[in-house]
Structure 1
Amino acid sequence: MVTFDCRAKRVDGVTLVTATVGDIAAPTRITVRNCLDGPLWPPRQQGVPEAGWSEEGFEGVVGPGTHALGYATPAPPADQPAELVGAEPASEDAPADERLDSEDAVVRELGDPAPPADAVPAGEPGEAAAAEGRQPDIPSVEGGDRQADRQPAVVQPSGRSRAASGRRSEQQLPAAVSQWLDTVARRVDRAERLDGADSLSAATAAVRAADGLSGVRAVATRGAADERMLRALARRAEQLADRRAAATVPTETLSRLA
């Protein structure tokens, strides 16, 4: 049975809340809600809230073990600063599925592409102000398997995507991007197999390969979001590639000036 414990302490006018969820035997979707009367300040990564955090609290899939979730708030502490609202079993690939399904998630994994404030020329005050206005990261205090979760997962691509995975590895894509693409490729493989099932036996095999009807629904539900994110990533990558191709660094000139 999943256990839950939470504590709060006041430091320099800010309440720091630590909630510990333990005895998790399998991937589990947990929901923790803030009970204090004030706004929730979640941990941040690359300037955006870490995955799973919202104004209400935390909702996300965690692996087996014990996990600590920490956040801050200006509200005064109370005997019950947070509560465990739900703990439901989740599929093992759910954490990877959710890593890059939004713009904030891409920024968390790959970093903010905006230049630092001191790198923006003085003639472009708008960009400098934007760079200086970014909120600082609030480091997560999550424990347990958190560090392990951030390590690149070993993904076994399905038959149809194996050749594409080989080409990606040759191009040395960042681990986070490669993992997300492999995850989406698995869903595309399942969708193609389900779409191409032209007999009862083929449909039965396709549904079984998709982990049952719940897996079929998940593939169908994520289709539009996957397509939207893939096209957005392609557009962004092409724009950056064009900019990089057009930028020639005058190394020799800068060396002489330096």
Structure 2
Amino acid sequence: MHSDVGVTVVADVVLVTVTFENTDSVAQRVRLRNRLDGPVLPPRRAGVPEPGWDDDGFEGAVPAESTVALGYASPIDGDSTPSSDTDPESVVDIDVLGRNPDTDTAAVSSTDAIRRLGPSRPPADAVPAAEPLDIALARGDCSEEPDEHTADETVSLESPTSPSEPADSPSESVDSSSELVDSSSESATLPPEPTDEDVAVAVSAASNSTEESVSAPAATSAATTSAATTSTAQTSDYSSFLVAVERRIELAERLDGASVREAADAFETSDVSVDSVASLDADRARLRRLAAHATKLADRAADADPDVDSLRRVA
């Protein structure tokens, strides 16, 4: 083990540097003690002294066949300021304590090395917030045409009832979503899910109203208007729910692994409260049930192939 000590005087501060060169095939443990009158000012990271440093100096291991450089500062009085030619032994004591007992366990695994790395994602301020799909469509910003598969999934998720029935305009959807997000119980109030029995009842009611259209046209008109109103309300509820969930997910993505400053900026620029983020588990389960139900309806729609031309003549 070889060591080299350097002394530099700047104003009333002495800078001491020590370089250890370990030529052995095993790690060696060393002890460095300050002999100056002033205190030891070790290197720090985020205001905390680096590992191995204490009030008297440093104690740590020098890896096998490696070189380690250490340094610290010590303020002193002007009368006792040493010069650069001062004997290093009068400034610092160096002891070689022998083989490092933690040699076999000191190796850092790749997992530990990855954990020491900083966040891999860019700062939240550098990433533009994603705009909800329905708002982008309303502004005409989406230049790409969605493929047939994506369009079918979008219609199935946002319109759980018949595609022929009228849907809310984009502005009405945005207004409904804003009211849902601003309410304190947005995570607890969810639209009811239509079941297969509900669909069968609706189809049966529509068939009965068609058969009785000649004898009771007023009743048929009232039933049709009521069904259309219910369908429109459900469509609005589902659209508002999806927009609200998307905003909560966007906020959760920004908060994941964010610093205190980044989290504060995220809450300042978002209209979603921190209590709403706690409902992500319920949102995830709700979305999966909705996706499963939409897939089932899409399969039923694909299997149903009535002769529309013949039905028109009957109607």
Shorter-chain TM-score bucket reads: 0.3 to 0.5
Under a length normalisation based on structure 2, what TM-score does the superposition of the two structures give? 0.32
Under a length normalisation based on structure 1, what TM-score does the superposition of the two structures give? 0.38
